[in-house]
Amino acid sequence: MNDPIRVLLVDDQELIRLGFRLSLEADADIAVVGEASDGQEGLDLARELKPDVVIMDVRMPRLDGIAATARIVDELPSARVLVVTTFDLDEYAFGALEAGASGFLLKDATSAQLVAAVRSVHRGDAILSPRATRLLIEAHAMRAPQPRMVEPTNLTPRERDVLLAVGRGLNNTEIAAELFLSESTVKTHVGRLLTKLDARDRVHLVILTHRSGLVH
């Protein structure tokens, strides 16, 4: 039997943490290894516990979720951060994604959605719907201008097709259907894209496609 997915909860609302814990620990393959009530405590516990997934609130005292996410991603590259927010329009959540989080999770998510999100980010997928992708890019474009990247030239035609689909916010199942590929083949292509483009995760790929002008 595989080891359970180790989860750290970081939220300043105790009832939110309790609800998440009860939902997650109903599944034998997920274990909540710690709880923190602010970003600094979350960072300290992440360093100590080395969780697989961190469920991170954004607006917290002492150290907010954006700063905590950036530190955790930098110091613990194997950990995946899942941002929890009340609204998917939350500009702070966008900041956390750019800091390295692997996706959004709304606080009113069902238990099944929460468990599915933890499993998805643990295996390296991003929790980012096409709508959230558009909002992320729009929010990104409204900030200070970013230097335009040169379109990557080291990709095969099929890798470029997959990259364009990722940039539009499609998941592996949707990409497989659109390009008439198996999901395992799509996953292989995404892995190669991450390596070739030196991207930390799927969210980073989305940002890179827009900065290079591949997707508008």
Per-residue confidence band for 161, with pLDDT thresholds at 50, 70 and 90? very high
21 contact partners, CB below 8 Å, separation of at least 6? 9, 32, 35
Residue 210's pLDDT is: 74
Where along the chain do the CATH 1.10.10.10 domains lie?
A: 157-211
* pLDDT, averaged across the chain: 84
Where along the chain do the CATH 3.40.50.2300 domains lie?
A: 5-127
Q: Which helix (H) or strand (E) holds 36?
A: strand 30-36
| Separation CA 39–CA 138 (nearest Å) | 27
Fold of the CATH domain 5-127? Rossmann fold (3.40.50)
Identify whether the C-beta of residue 163 lies closer than 8 Å to the C-beta of residue 205: yes
Rounded to two decimals, the pTM is 0.75
To the nearest 10 degrees (0 to 180), the angle between helices 157-167 and 202-211 is 100
Span 20-72, pLDDT tens digits: 999 999 988 999 999 999 999 999 999 999 999 999 998 888 888 889 999 99
The residue ranking higher by pLDDT, 91 or 127, is 127
| Separation CA 139–CA 85 (nearest Å) | 16
Beta strand segments in 49-120, E: 53-57, 80-85, 104-106
Average pLDDT over residues 75-96: 79
Tell me if residue 6 falls in helix, strand or coil.
Answer: strand
Q: Looking at the predicted structure, is the pLDDT value of residue 194 above 70?
A: yes
Q: Looking at the predicted structure, is the pLDDT value of residue 155 above 80?
A: yes
- CATH number belonging to the domain at 157-211, selected among 3.30.413.10, 3.20.20.140, 1.10.10.10, 2.40.30.10: 1.10.10.10
Whole-angstrom CA distances from 206 to 12, 50, 190 are 30, 27, 12
